[in-house]
C-alpha cells in the first residue's frame, strides 16, 4: 500500500527519495511522486507508471536539486490513480508539501470548510486538506501550524511535511499508520518501512501514535501528543542491505523461496536452546496458560492460512478448542472472549489494519494476546502482550513464502512448548516432533533442489482456466495457501476445497481436462482422499497428486504425482507447501505476469 520517504541532509534529496521509493515498490502502488525544495520552491515529479519513470523523468534525480524532500507511492483509495491525485500535495500558496498514508475520515467536512474559506482543490483525495490546513494555520511558526492541523484530523495517518520557509526541516507525524525515522550521518530520514532506510542507516526510531518529529540534518526533536518533548530510544535494525536486494535472482519471490531453509532454521534456533524450547520472557505464564480454555487465531491472507494449519496442530497437541478466523470478520462479530481465551494474531508485516483492529477488540475483552510477527517494532508487535518473532528477514515479494513458512514454525513451537507445560501430549510424541523439527530445513532444501521438475509440471497448468486444490485436514489448510499463491500471481482462477466437500457443489465445475491438485500428505486419510481423486478422475479431471515419499502408490497411470520428503504428520505443511510456491512462480513466469508486484495487490494492507 502507500509508502512514504523523506530526506533532510547535505546531499541530493532526490537520489535518496527515488531509491527509497524503489525499495517501497513491493508494497503495491499505482502512482508515485517526489517534491524537493530548491531555491525556496518545490520541484515536483509525478507518475502513474512505475518508479523507473520517475528516474527517467528526472535523469536519475540529477535534474532535481535540493537536499530536503519527500516522496510517496500511492495505492488509490480516494480518487482514481492519476497525476492530480498522486502525492505530494501542495497548499494553494505552494509553501507546504505533504505526503500521507492512511485515511482522513473527516476530510469532506474539512474540505467544505476550506472551500468556504476560499481554498481551491485540485484532487479527489482526502490528503489535500492537510496542506491547506497547514497554510491556514501558518503564521510564521511551523510547529504551531502543524500542531493546529493535526488537531483537526480524524482517522489514521503517517505524514511527511516540508515547508518552503524552512529549508532544512523535515516533519513527520504518526497516528495509527507506521512511520520510522532513520538517523544517518549528516542526514536524517523518514520512511514508512525500514526497507527504504537500510541502505543508509541501521539506526532507527519508531514513532508512536500521536508523536510528531522535526528533523534537520543534525537534529531530531520528537514531541508526544501533549506537545511534550519525547525521549526516544534508537533501535538498531539487524536486516542488511542484501536482504532488500534480489542478489542475482530474477525475482524477489524466487529469492525468498530459496531463503526458506535458512529462515526456518533461524526461527527454530531462536526458540530452541540446546534441544529445549524456550519462548523467552513471555508473559503467558504457566499459571495463565493453565487457565486457557479457548484459542482464537486471527489473521489475514496467507497468515490466516498458517493459522489454519495451526488449528490442527494446536488442537492435537493441547486438546484446547482452536478457532481460526479472518481478522476482517472477527473484528465485527462480537466474539465470545474473556481472560481465559488466548488470542494468537499472525502477521508478517505487523501492520495489517484488520489484524490490528481484531487484536484491539480481543484485548478489550480481556484476552491475552500473543502475536506472531516478522517485522520488529511493528504496530501489532507493540500492541500485543507477547510477541514471538519469525526470523524471515525482510519479505519483499507481495506473495509471501518465507513469511508463511516461518509462521508455521512458530506455531509448532508454541504447541510443543504449551503441551509440555500442560501435559496434554505424550512424551514420545513431543520428542518425535522435537527431533524432526531440525530436519525440516534440509528437507525443504531437498525439494528446492528439484525445482526444475516443478517447472516442467507448470507447463501443464499455464493455459488452465481454472484449477482446483483438494485435501483433508492439514492438507486442506495447505490447499488454501497453494490455491492463493497460484491465483494471486498467475491470475488463473483457482479454488481450494476440503476434499470431502467437493461433491456438495464444486464437482459440478469439473470437466474434461480440468486440473485438480490433490494434496495427500495426511497418511491416515489417504484412502478417503483417494476416493475423492477417483470422483474427479471419473469426470475427466487431470489429477496431480502431492504425496510424501514412499507413502502412496496410486497404481493409476492417469494420476501424475509430485513427491515431498516424509516427515512427522503434524509438520507436513512445512514441506508440502514448497512445491506449490514453486508451481505458482513458474506458472506466473510462463504467463509473463509481474511476479513480485501482482496487479491490484499490496504487500501490507493498512486500510480495512
To the nearest 10°, report the CA torsion of 55, 61, 62, 64.
Answer: 120
CB-nearer residue toward ligand G6P: 172 or 300:
300
Applying CB under 6 A, does 302 fall inside the site for ligand G6P?
A: yes
Catalytic residue among 2, 163, 187, 546: 2
Applying CB under 6 A, does 301 fall inside the site for ligand G6P?
A: yes
Contacting ligand G6P (CB under 6 A), which of 348, 405, 406, 529? 348
Applying CB under 6 A, does 532 fall inside the site for ligand G6P?
A: no
**What are the grid coordinates assigned to 310, written together?**
495451526
CB-nearer residue toward ligand G6P: 471 or 598:
598
Contacting ligand G6P (CB under 6 A), which of 34, 171, 369, 398? 398
DSSP reduced 3-state for 188: strand
Among residues 295, 167, 153, 136, the alpha carbon closest in space to that of 210 is found at: 153
Whether residue 88 has a cis bond before it, omega within 30° of 0: yes
DSSP reduced 3-state for 365: coil
539 φ, ψ (degrees, to nearest 5) = -105, 15
Which residue stretches of 348-493 are H helix? 353-364, 379-383, 402-422, 427-436, 440-449, 451-461, 474-490
Largest CA distance in the chain: 83
Which residue stretches of 94-141 are H helix? 107-116, 129-137
Among positions 505-524, residues that touch ligand G6P (CB under 6 A) are none
Applying CB under 6 A, does 485 fall inside the site for ligand G6P?
A: no
DSSP reduced 3-state for 388: strand
Span of 13-21, 156-164, 297-305, 584-592 interacting with ligand G6P by CB under 6 A: 297-305
**What are the grid coordinates assigned to 466, written together?**
481454472
Query: What is the distance between the alpha carbons of residues 580 and 583, in angstroms, rounded to a whole number?
Result: 5
Edge to edge, what strands does the sheet with 493-498 contain? 493-498, 466-471, 515-520, 542-548, 560-564
Applying CB under 6 A, does 101 fall inside the site for ligand G6P?
A: no
Span of 199-207, 217-225, 295-303, 423-431 interacting with ligand G6P by CB under 6 A: 295-303
Among residues 470, 280, 475, 481, the alpha carbon closest in space to that of 387 is found at: 280
Applying CB under 6 A, does 605 fall inside the site for ligand G6P?
A: yes
Applying CB under 6 A, does 401 fall inside the site for ligand G6P?
A: no
Applying CB under 6 A, does 567 fall inside the site for ligand G6P?
A: no
DSSP code, position 280: -
CB-nearer residue toward ligand G6P: 230 or 601:
601
> Least distance to ligand G6P from the beta carbon of 185, Å?
32
Applying CB under 6 A, does 355 fall inside the site for ligand G6P?
A: yes
Applying CB under 6 A, does 584 fall inside the site for ligand G6P?
A: no
> Least distance to ligand G6P from the beta carbon of 371, Å?
10
**What are the grid coordinates assigned to 180, written together?**
520510522
* Nearest residue relative to ligand G6P (C-beta): 301
Other beta carbons within 10 Å of 279: 16
Give me the residues paired with residue 368 across strands.
342
Applying CB under 6 A, does 601 fall inside the site for ligand G6P?
A: yes
First to last CA, the chain: 12
Span of 70-78, 124-132, 341-349, 468-476 interacting with ligand G6P by CB under 6 A: 341-349
Contact 461, 579 (CB under 8 A): no
CB-nearer residue toward ligand G6P: 45 or 347:
347
603 in active site? yes
Span of 65-73, 119-127, 348-356, 419-427 interacting with ligand G6P by CB under 6 A: 348-356
How many residues sit close enough to ligand G6P to count as binding (CB under 6 A)? 16
Contacting ligand G6P (CB under 6 A), which of 146, 187, 222, 303? 303
Applying CB under 6 A, does 603 fall inside the site for ligand G6P?
A: yes
Contact 155, 125 (CB under 8 A): no
Contacting ligand G6P (CB under 6 A), which of 101, 127, 349, 483? 349
> Least distance to ligand G6P from the beta carbon of 208, Å?
20
CB-nearer residue toward ligand G6P: 145 or 396:
396
Applying CB under 6 A, does 406 fall inside the site for ligand G6P?
A: no
> Least distance to ligand G6P from the beta carbon of 58, Å?
30
CB-nearer residue toward ligand G6P: 387 or 559:
387
> Least distance to ligand G6P from the beta carbon of 269, Å?
22
DSSP reduced 3-state for 570: helix
Residue for cell digits 478489550? 364
CB-nearer residue toward ligand G6P: 347 or 405:
347
How many residues appear in the chain? 608
Which residue stretches of 225-282 are H helix? 252-258, 260-271
2 in active site? yes
Contact 581, 401 (CB under 8 A): yes
Q: Does an H or E element contain 553, and which? A: none
Span of 215-223, 248-256, 502-510, 596-604 interacting with ligand G6P by CB under 6 A: 596-604
Query: What is the distance between the alpha carbons of residues 281 and 269, in angstroms, rounded to a whole number?
Result: 16
CB-nearer residue toward ligand G6P: 387 or 605:
605
Residues marked active site are found at 2, 603
List contacts with ligand G6P (CB under 6 A). Answer: 300-303, 347-349, 352, 355, 398-400, 601, 603-605
Amino acid at each position: 500500500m502507500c509508502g512514504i520517504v523523506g530526506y533532510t541532509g547535505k546531499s541530493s534529496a532526490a537520489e535518496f527519495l527515488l531509491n527509497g521509493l524503489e525499495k517501497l515498490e513491493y508494497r503495491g502502488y499505482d502512482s508515485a511522486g517526489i517534491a524537493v525544495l530548491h531555491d525556496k520552491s518545490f520541484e515536483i515529479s509525478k507518475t502513474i507508471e512505475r518508479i523507473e519513470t520517475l528516474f527517467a523523468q528526472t535523469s536519475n534525480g540529477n535534474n532535481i536539486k535540493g537536499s530536503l524532500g519527500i516522496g510517496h507511492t500511492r495505492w488509490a483509495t480516494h480518487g482514481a490513480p492519476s497525476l492530480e491525485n498522486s502525492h505530494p500535495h501542495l497548499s494553494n500558496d505552494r509553501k507546504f508539501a505533504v505526503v500521507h498514508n492512511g485515511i482522513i475520515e473527516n476530510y469532506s467536512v474539512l474540505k467544505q470548510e476550506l472551500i468556504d474559506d476560499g481554498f481551491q482543490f485540485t484532487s479527489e483525495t482526502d490528503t489535500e486538506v492537510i496542506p491547506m490546513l497547514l497554510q491556514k494555520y501558518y503564521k510564521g511558526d511551523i510547529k504551531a501550524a502543524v500542531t493546529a492541523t493535526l488537531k483537526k484530523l480524524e482517522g489514521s495517518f503517517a505524514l511527511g511535511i516540508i515547508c518552503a520557509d524552512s529549508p532544512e526541516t523535515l516533519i513527520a507525524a504518526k497516528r495509527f499508520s507506521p512511520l520510522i525515522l532513520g538517523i544517518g550521518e549528516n542526514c536524517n530520514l523518514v520512511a514508512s518501512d525500514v526497507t527504504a532506510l537500510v541502505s543508509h542507516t541501521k539506526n532507527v526510531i519508531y514513532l508512536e501514535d500521536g508523536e510528531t518529529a522535526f528533523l534537520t540534518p543534525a537534529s531530531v526533536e520528537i514531541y508526544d501528543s501533549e506537545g511534550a518533548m519525547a525521549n526516544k530510544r534508537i533501535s538498531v535494525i539487524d536486516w542488511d542491505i542484501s536482504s532488500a536486494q534480489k542478489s542475482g535472482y530474477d525475482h524477489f519471490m524466487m529469492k525468498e523461496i530459496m531463503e526458506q531453509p535458512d529462515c526456518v532454521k533461524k526461527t527454530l534456533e531462536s526458540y530452541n536452546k540446546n534441544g529445549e524450547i524456550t519462548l523467552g520472557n513471555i508473559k503467558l505464564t504457566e499459571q495463565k496458560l493453565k487457565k486457557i480454555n479457548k484459542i482464537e487465531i486471527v489473521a489475514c491472507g496467507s497468515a490466516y492460512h498458517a493459522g489454519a494449519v495451526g488449528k490442527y496442530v494446536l488442537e492435537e497437541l493441547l486438546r484446547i478448542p482452536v478457532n481460526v478466523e479472518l481478522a476482517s470478520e472477527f473484528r465485527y462479530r462480537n466474539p465470545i472472549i474473556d481472560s481465559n481465551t488466548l488470542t494468537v494474531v499472525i502477521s508478517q508485516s505487523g501492520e495489517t489494519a484488520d489484524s490490528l483492529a481484531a487484536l484491539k477488540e480481543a484485548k478489550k475483552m480481556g484476552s491475552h494476546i500473543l502475536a506472531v510477527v516478522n517485522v520488529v517494532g511493528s504496530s501489532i508487535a507493540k500492541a500485543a502482550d507477547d510477541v514471538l518473532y519469525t526470523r524471515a528477514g525482510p519479505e519483499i515479494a507481495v506473495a509471501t513464502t518465507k513469511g508463511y513458512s516461518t509462521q508455521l514454525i512458530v506455531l509448532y513451537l508454541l504447541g510443543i512448548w504449551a503441551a509440555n507445560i500442560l501435559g496434554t501430549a505424550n512424551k514420545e510424541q513431543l520428542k518425535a516432533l522435537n527431533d524432526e523439527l531440525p530436519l525440516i530445513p534440509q528437507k525443504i532444501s531437498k525439494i528446492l533442489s528439484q525445482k526444475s521438475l516443478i517447472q516442467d509440471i507448470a507447463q501443464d497448468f499455464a493455459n488452465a482456466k481454472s484449477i482446483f486444490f483438494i485435501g483433508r485436514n492439514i492438507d486442506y489448510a495447505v490447499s488454501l495457501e497453494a490455491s492463493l499463491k497460484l491465483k494471486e500471481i498467475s491470475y488463473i482462477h483457482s479454488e481450494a476445497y476440503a476434499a470431502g466437500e467437493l461433491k456438495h457443489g464444486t464437482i459440478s465445475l469439473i470437466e474434461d481436462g480440468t486440473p485438480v491438485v490433490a494434496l495427500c500428505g495426511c497418511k491416515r486419510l489417504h484412502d478417503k482422499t483417494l476416493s475423492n481423486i477417483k470422483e474427479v478422475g471419473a469426470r475427466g479431471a487431470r489429477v496431480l497428486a502431492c504425496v510424501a515419499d514412499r507413502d502412496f502408490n496410486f497404481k493409476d497411470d492417469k494420476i501424475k504425482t509430485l513427491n515431498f520428503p516424509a516427515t512427522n504428520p503434524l509438520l507436513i505443511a512445512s514441506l508440502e507447501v514448497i512445491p506449490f510456491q514453486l508451481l505458482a512462480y513458474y506458472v506466473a513466469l510462463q504467463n509473463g505476469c509481474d511476479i513480485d508486484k501482482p496487479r491490484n495487490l499490496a504487500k501490507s494492507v493498512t486500510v480495512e
